[in-house]
């Protein structure tokens, strides 16, 4: 039987691991689901949620020599089923662990498809030095060459390492360490699934050793709200009109993230709709569909970055549309407006 939060090898009857090394760091595993916890169902022809947190740990030999582990079975869902409400509950759960438990690090097992959004939300809302590491898998646990056990082992090592303290929320996959802000999923199936925007990872794991090769950028912090306002992402593409934008407003959006092209540009039809939204008091942030580079006001034509910023839109800097949405939701929940709102996105010093 799984006892949430119980140290492995001690108070969990039948726990697969032996006693931890005395004095070993205490790492809390919070299982939320994802491919790492799935097994192939031959009858249905695909993978489904199957393993709990204890099952994930059982697949890692001699893990008790790295850290004393506790497991919390928070959920077992694919990351496509994550919602803003889920982020709030997960953040509150982590804060309760940090407050009530003598914990040296936290590892969250999570599906890879929306992992970067969850990681960034947690990085924005959880303060303190305790390292939080998200990890997952590209192959289900039933695959003969499953990558989940290795990724989880690395994540535990990172969370247990004293040099991880103060670096914020991280993603660990395929031996690479990424900051929550820079991490983005870059491959649908390759084991090396994540890249860091800007091309520079935070560090790596090699032969069980943690190597940090770069410093994490200063972090922004916003209060954890009870609810998040609706913010939608509106794509720009050749021939786009205002249909998606108007539909978002009709459904109650109070903020919009525009997935522009290039350094943050749109066509005339979308530009007109954006100006109309701004006149209604809707916050508009301009990001880009381009994988690398910053969003900056470069062009003065109608719909170019200069005209968008002059109309009142905010440039997202290095944030992807998904992460710009996370930050905008939290900022609006904290009642950020005007210069204070713009500074959250356009001040790259923090």
CATH of the domain at 333: 3.40.50.40
Is 223 among the domain residues? no
Mean pLDDT of 288-314: 97
pLDDT of residue 161: 97
pLDDT mean across residues, the chain: 91
- Residue 193 has which token pair? 């699934």
Mean pLDDT of 143-170: 96
pLDDT of residue 348: 65
Regarding whether 308 and 172 lie in a shared domain, the answer is no
Taking a C-beta distance cutoff of 8 angstroms, is the pair 313, 307 a contact? Answer: no
* Residue among 31, 60, 33 nearest 49 (CA): 33
pLDDT of residue 18: 40
Is 308 among the domain residues? yes
Mean pLDDT of 181-188: 96
Regarding whether 159 and 258 lie in a shared domain, the answer is no
pLDDT of residue 320: 97
pLDDT of residue 20: 58
Q: What is the DSSP letter of 338?
A: H
Give 190: exposed, middle or buried? Use CB within 10 Å, 0-12, 13-18, 19+. exposed
Is 218 among the domain residues? no
Regarding whether 31 and 135 lie in a shared domain, the answer is yes
CA distance 284 to 233: 10
Q: What is the pLDDT of residues 69-94, one digit of tens each?
A: 999 999 999 999 999 999 999 999 99
Regarding whether 235 and 195 lie in a shared domain, the answer is no
Regarding whether 269 and 180 lie in a shared domain, the answer is no
CA distance 258 to 266: 9
The beta-carbon contacts of 234-241 under 8 Å, at least 24 apart in sequence, are 234/258, 234/259, 234/270, 235/259, 235/289, 236/260, 236/261, 236/265, 236/266, 236/267, 236/270, 236/289, 237/261, 238/267, 239/267, 240/266, 240/267, 240/269, 240/270, 241/269, 241/270, 241/273
Residue where a domain stops, chosen among 212, 247, 275: 212
pLDDT of 1 higher than 70: no
Regarding whether 253 and 196 lie in a shared domain, the answer is no
Q: What is the pLDDT of residues 91-134, one digit of tens each?
A: 999 999 999 889 999 999 999 999 999 999 999 999 999 999 99
pLDDT of 5 higher than 60: no
Q: What is the pLDDT of residues 209-245, one digit of tens each?
A: 999 999 887 899 999 999 999 999 999 999 999 999 9
Regarding whether 93 and 240 lie in a shared domain, the answer is no
Mean pLDDT of 182-193: 96
Q: What is the pLDDT of residues 255-276, one digit of tens each?
A: 999 999 999 999 999 999 999 9
Is 1 among the domain residues? no
Under the banding of pLDDT at 50, 70 and 90, the label for residue 65 is confident
Domain count, the chain: 2
Please list the alpha-helical segments (H only) found in the chain.
Answer: 53-58, 84-100, 115-125, 148-160, 243-250, 268-279, 305-311, 321-333, 338-346
Is 263 among the domain residues? yes
pLDDT of 35 higher than 60: yes
Is 154 among the domain residues? yes
pLDDT of residue 350: 54
Q: What is the pLDDT of residues 319-342, one digit of tens each?
A: 999 999 999 999 999 999 999 999
* Catalytic site includes residue 179: no
pLDDT > 70 fraction of the chain, expressed in percent and rounded: 93
Sign of CA dihedral 248, 253, 259, 265: positive
Regarding whether 314 and 197 lie in a shared domain, the answer is no
Taking a C-beta distance cutoff of 8 angstroms, is the pair 217, 179 a contact? Answer: yes
Regarding whether 171 and 52 lie in a shared domain, the answer is yes
Regarding whether 297 and 150 lie in a shared domain, the answer is no
- Range(s) of the domain holding residue 247: 231-346
Regarding whether 319 and 201 lie in a shared domain, the answer is no
Regarding whether 113 and 255 lie in a shared domain, the answer is no
Q: Which of 35, 112, 118, 320 is catalytic?
A: 35
CA distance 104 to 101: 9
Taking a C-beta distance cutoff of 8 angstroms, is the pair 244, 235 a contact? Answer: yes
pLDDT of 6 higher than 50: no
* Residue among 56, 58, 16 nearest 136 (CA): 56
- Residue 189 has which token pair? 């199936």
Any idea what the CATH number is for the domain that residue 122 is in? 3.40.50.1170
DSSP, collapsed to helix, strand or coil, labels residue 211 as strand
DSSP, collapsed to helix, strand or coil, labels residue 244 as helix
Taking a C-beta distance cutoff of 8 angstroms, is the pair 158, 164 a contact? Answer: yes
Give 316: exposed, middle or buried? Use CB within 10 Å, 0-12, 13-18, 19+. buried
Is 226 among the domain residues? no
Is 224 among the domain residues? no
Residue where a domain stops, chosen among 212, 247, 276: 212
């Amino acid at each position: 039987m799984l006892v949430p939060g119980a140290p492995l090898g001690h108070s969990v009857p039948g726990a697969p691991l032996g006693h931890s090394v005395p004095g070993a760091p205490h790492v809390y595993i919070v299982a939320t689901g994802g491919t790492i916890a799935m097994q192939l169902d031959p009858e249905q022809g695909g993978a489904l949620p199957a393993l709990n947190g204890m099952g994930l740990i059982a697949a890692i030999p001699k893990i008790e020599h790295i850290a004393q582990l506790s497991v919390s079975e928070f959920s077992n869902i694919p990351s496509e089923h994550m919602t803003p409400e889920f982020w709030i509950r997960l953040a509150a759960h982590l804060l309760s662990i940090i407050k009530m438990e003598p914990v040296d690090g936290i590892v969250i097992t999570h599906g890879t498809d929306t992992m970067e959004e969850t990681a960034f939300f947690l990085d924005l809302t959880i303060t303190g030095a305790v390292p939080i590491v998200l990890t997952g898998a590209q192959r289900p646990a039933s695959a003969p060459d499953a990558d989940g056990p290795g990724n989880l082992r690395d994540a535990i090592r990172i969370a247990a390492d004293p040099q991880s303290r103060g670096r914020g929320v991280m993603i660990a996959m395929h031996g690479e360490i990424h900051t929550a802000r820079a991490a983005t999923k870059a491959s649908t199936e390759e084991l090396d699934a994540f890249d860091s925007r800007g091309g520079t990872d935070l560090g790596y794991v090699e032969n069980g050793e943690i190597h940090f090769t770069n410093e994490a950028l200063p972090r922004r912090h916003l209060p954890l709200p009870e609810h998040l306002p609706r913010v939608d992402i509106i794509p720009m593409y050749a021939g786009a009109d205002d249909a998606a934008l108007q539909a978002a407003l009709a459904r109650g959006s109070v903020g919009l993230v525009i997935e522009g092209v290039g350094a943050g540009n749109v066509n005339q039809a979308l530009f007109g709709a954006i100006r109309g939204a701004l006149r209604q008091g809707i916050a508009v942030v301009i990001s880009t569909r381009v994988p690398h580079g910053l969003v900056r006001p470069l062009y003065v034509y109608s719909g170019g970055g200069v005209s968008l910023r002059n109309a009142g839109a905010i440039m997202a800097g290095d944030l992807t549309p998904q992460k710009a949405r996370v930050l905008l939701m939290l900022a609006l929940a904290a009642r950020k407006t005007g210069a204070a709102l713009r500074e959250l996105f356009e001040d790259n010093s923090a």
